[in-house]
Amino acid sequence: MSGFDIFRHLYNLFLRRRLALFLVAAALIIISVASLKYIRLSEDIKSMLPDNRKDFSIDYELLQHAPFTRKIIINLKIASGGDVGELIRVADHLADAMTPPFFTRVIAGPAVSQDMDIYNWLIKNLPNLATDKDLEGIKADLTTENIRNQLSDDYNSLFSHEGWYLKNYIKSDPLNLKAVGIKKLSSLNIIPNARLQDNHFISADGKNVLLIAETNVDITDAGGSEEMLSRLNNLSEGIVPQGIEMSVLSVHNYTVVNADMIKDDLFVVLTISSLSIIILFIFFLRTWKALLVLLISFSSFAIALFSVSLIYKTVSAITIGFGSVLLGLSDDLSLHVYFALRPGKIKNKTDDMSAIIAEVSRPVLFGGVITICAFSLLMFSALPGQRQLGAFSIIGVLASLAMSLILLPHMMQASSGGKDAHSFILRERRRTHPAITIAIWILLLTGCAWQARHISFNGNLNALNFVPEKLRAIELAMSETWGNFRGQAMIFSEGKDMESALEINDNLFRYLKQNAGDADVTSIASILPSIKTQKANREAWTSFWSDRKDEIRRTMEEEGRRLGFSGNAFEAFFLSLNGPASFIRAEDLSLSGIKDILDSMIIHSDGKISILTMVPDTPEIKALIARDQDIIPGVRFVSQSYFSEMIRKAIGHDFIRFIIGAFSLIVLLLAFLFRNMKKVLLSLVPVVTGIIFMFGVMSLIHIPFNIFNIISTILIIGLGVDYGIFMVCKCSEDYEHDTDTAVLLSGLTTITGFGSLICARHPALHSIGVTVLLGIGAAVPSAMFVIPAFFKGKGNRGGYPDERAISNE
């Protein structure tokens, strides 16, 4: 034990410099506490995404480019029997009022109006757009009967109210070839269930109008999002009348809800955990000296949080939530020192205290080091948030370890204390036969291990966000009314420039049309093909009409004269067939409505261009793209479900790696500490019990593992081995210190710390609480009952303290 005499010497060194020690410690604590108000809080889920693989970051960024990710969707719904015209007027009034700085633009529809030349544009550019399949369809329609019927319809249209307007369209397109182009516009429909009325998005039942607003407020800016949504709410109160219901859906809603929920949870969690720990200390210790241990716990939390804020620009809200756990974690070490030096147990103040410090420092130091090593594994995590949690925990445990072994002994004073509350527990444990204890333990672990075979991993990030029922109802209503336009998978065609990206996009579009069955595909390929494709289409168009133009002209002239058309009525049409149409280019395509869609589906970033195609997010589509990746090179498939699957695999990989690494490291440290295999194995009893029990119960009640449960598992390992070390030292080395009570109380404080997280409504915080409550809840009794049951001899049965020792205390 001589190797730990350094703490005896440190105690003697500061004995004459106690005031300086207290002043330095007080200054550090005060600075840490005062700095907490300047910490920048972050609720960005990106901190819990792997950053060691480029594809994770790329996919996450691409997900943010979905057409509706950064937009505000506003639905106006009128009561049954209402006038859709009134609904449109209210929508226009609201759109006009939504101005900067919060709203940069509001779209009520594609803005396709009668005075816009979209029909002429389609007719003019058919040579560039018509594919071989389109030409086959045109050929099938060029029968004498079909031409007669079409010209008859044209003639009758001239006598309608719109005849004066349709005259020029009939001259340039008497065979209604523009219908081919209009079909191509359907591929740009990003809102499946919308129909157009007066250039507004109207639902199929005519009771809903959709507005799409753009904002420059970042989706991770909780404060800005709250102000923007508040502004929108104020506008609606003055514009939207009774009888019209307004619903708003955007990522900003989730940002605000989760930020508010985390802040509320932090207050509740930290308050409950603090009060619970104080109550436990009062019940067990019954002396004001116990406040010294509480002081170390709260100081460790403040120092850890202050230090992390110096290392990282922002501190994750999850890290702060973990502070309630650190309150229960950091007192484990100080409690063992406190019970060794507790009031009434020290006879010779200087000699006895320094000797006890040297003795108790061995298990305390190793327990702290092993806990630190367990948390250090998080520093190798692929998730930035887990690395931050690792740093927070390491610094907190280091601070607690230093204050427990150096500061706490000088804060302790010899005085009489009340009777501890643990006597009854120890007496009850004394009456239990060791064989019965071990048998019950083995049966419990066997059942949990069998059940744990069904444990699952969940990588769905949405499951880690809090979604209130009101927002969930809006999601469902939007999906039922307009279609699931926010939940589609995306395929990005990536090129170094516009032309190369368009070529890849053309290949993808043709591939999907041939292989994806009836799946709805939203793509700009039908309206903006590559120059290469346009050249091929134009050559095919020219060849098609050169073979049959004269025959079609004779048929049209004959049928036209019978109806009353003049002899040269269709001359403009035949001239256009040979006319040199210019190629379609993205920068020149300024048609309102189409341009809006192009802007949302062409992404410029990092010196490359990505073109978005949207498809149903189904396993069949995902399997199709994965199977034929070589056939369609240059495309990247991204979807919420696919991204969640990647996260799930990363979780499983990290979990196995951390578990193996933690156990290997702990076994090596325990072997160095005890140099006895039996003691090493028994020290692992709480760890094994906690992990297997946690797996078994989670599997039984169908709680899947997520990215936050990995943190909890590391904590169970670190704390469980601490309890094992203390109890093995107690049972095998005849320590006279109240290790039993220290383990019980430290376990209860940790459980209450995590128990408070169960009160959190945010899924991430709640998930950590449930996991560790199960693990530590099983680790503590296994340390107190199972480890002593394995020890025989030592002057009493099974390593238990005898009755006289209990009664004398």
Virtual torsion, Cα 533, 175, 168, 569, nearest 10 deg = 120
pLDDT for 27 beyond 70: yes
608-615/489-495 β-pairing: antiparallel
Domain ranges for the chain? 2-35+256-463+643-808, 68-112+199-249, 118-188+486-638
- Which is nearest to 763 in space by CA: 462, 426, 415? 462
Contact 669, 421 (CB under 8 A): no
- The reported pLDDT for the residue numbered 233 is 92
Cα dihedral sign, 791-793-797-801: negative
pLDDT for 315 beyond 60: yes
Average pLDDT over residues 68-88: 81
Average pLDDT over residues 635-660: 74
Output 787 or 658, whichever has higher pLDDT: 787
Contact 415, 290 (CB under 8 A): no
Query: What would the pLDDT profile of 149-208 be if each residue is shown by its tens digit?
Result: 988 888 888 777 666 667 777 888 888 888 888 888 878 777 777 777 777 888 888 889
- The reported pLDDT for the residue numbered 113 is 45
Average pLDDT over residues 630-644: 80
795: region left, alpha or beta (phi > 0 left; psi from -120 to 50 alpha): left
Cα 195 from Cα 204, distance rounded (Å): 7
- The reported pLDDT for the residue numbered 507 is 93
Q: How far lies 153's CA from each of 157, 159, 361, 553, 692, in Å?
A: 6, 10, 99, 18, 78
Output 150 or 762, whichever has higher pLDDT: 150
Fold of 68-112+199-249: Alpha-Beta Plaits (3.30.70)
User: What residues have CB less than 8 Å from 117, skipping those under 6 apart?
Assistant: none
- The reported pLDDT for the residue numbered 274 is 77
Output 771 or 159, whichever has higher pLDDT: 771
Cα 11 from Cα 5, distance rounded (Å): 10
Q: Confidence band (pLDDT; 50, 70, 90) for 326?
A: low
> Residue 92 burial by CB count (10 A; 0-12/13-18/19+): exposed, middle or buried?
middle
Q: Residues of the chain with pLDDT > 90: what percent?
A: 11
Which range is least confidently modeled, 116-130, 132-146, 441-455?
116-130
- The reported pLDDT for the residue numbered 685 is 93
User: What residues have CB less than 8 Å from 564, skipping those under 6 apart?
Assistant: 155
Average pLDDT over residues 682-699: 91
Which range is least confidently modeled, 338-347, 410-419, 508-517?
410-419
Q: How far lies 403's CA from each of 21, 302, 337, 604, in Å?
A: 11, 13, 10, 54
Q: What is the mean pLDDT of the chain?
A: 79
Angle at 477 between CA 471 and CA 482, to 5 degrees: 125
Cα 254 from Cα 540, distance rounded (Å): 51
Query: What would the pLDDT profile of 80-101 be if each residue is shown by its tens digit?
Result: 667 788 888 999 999 999 998 8
- The reported pLDDT for the residue numbered 479 is 83
Q: Helix (H, G, I), strand (E, B), or coil: what is residue 659? A: helix
User: What residues have CB less than 8 Å from 631, skipping those under 6 apart?
Assistant: 511
- The reported pLDDT for the residue numbered 111 is 56
Output 383 or 242, whichever has higher pLDDT: 242
β partners of residue 316:
42
> At 525, phi and psi to the nearest 5?
-60, -30
Output 801 or 677, whichever has higher pLDDT: 677
Which range is least confidently modeled, 76-80, 110-114, 382-386, 557-561?
110-114
pLDDT for 796 beyond 50: no
For residue 746, the surrounding DSSP H or E stretch is: helix 739-758
> Could you tell me the two tokens for 184?
């191509």
Model pTM above 0.85: no
pLDDT for 501 beyond 90: yes
Three-state secondary structure along 32-46? HHHHHHHCCEECCHH
Q: Does domain 2-35+256-463+643-808 have CATH number 1.10.290.10?
A: no
Angle at 437 between CA 435 and CA 441, to 5 degrees: 115
Contact 36, 323 (CB under 8 A): no
Q: Residues of the chain with pLDDT > 70: what percent?
A: 81
Cα dihedral sign, 308-312-315-318: negative
For residue 374, the surrounding DSSP H or E stretch is: helix 349-376
Contact 381, 312 (CB under 8 A): no
Three-state secondary structure along 233-290? HHHHHHHCCCCEEEEEECHHHHHHHHHHHHHHHHHHHHHHHHHHHHHHHHHHHCCHHH
Output 275 or 127, whichever has higher pLDDT: 127
Q: What is the DSSP letter of 378?
A: G
pLDDT for 406 beyond 90: no
Query: What would the pLDDT profile of 243-299 be if each residue is shown by its tens digit?
Result: 889 999 888 888 888 778 877 887 887 788 778 877 877 777 767 776 777 788 888
Amino acid in the structure at residue 69: T
pLDDT for 17 beyond 50: yes
pLDDT for 657 beyond 80: no
Amino acid in the structure at residue 566: S
- Which is nearest to 328 in space by CA: 698, 726, 665, 757? 757
Virtual torsion, Cα 157, 159, 160, 164, nearest 10 deg = 90
pLDDT for 570 beyond 80: yes
Average pLDDT over residues 296-318: 83
Q: What is the DSSP letter of 164?
A: H
- The reported pLDDT for the residue numbered 336 is 80
Tell me the Cα Rg of the chain.
36
For residue 200, the surrounding DSSP H or E stretch is: strand 200-202
Cα 747 from Cα 723, distance rounded (Å): 8
Burial 569-586 (b: 16+ CB within 10 A, else e): bbeebbebbeeebeebeb
Contact 598, 526 (CB under 8 A): no
Q: Confidence band (pLDDT; 50, 70, 90) for 734?
A: low
Output 306 or 354, whichever has higher pLDDT: 306
Output 805 or 509, whichever has higher pLDDT: 509
Amino acid in the structure at residue 483: G
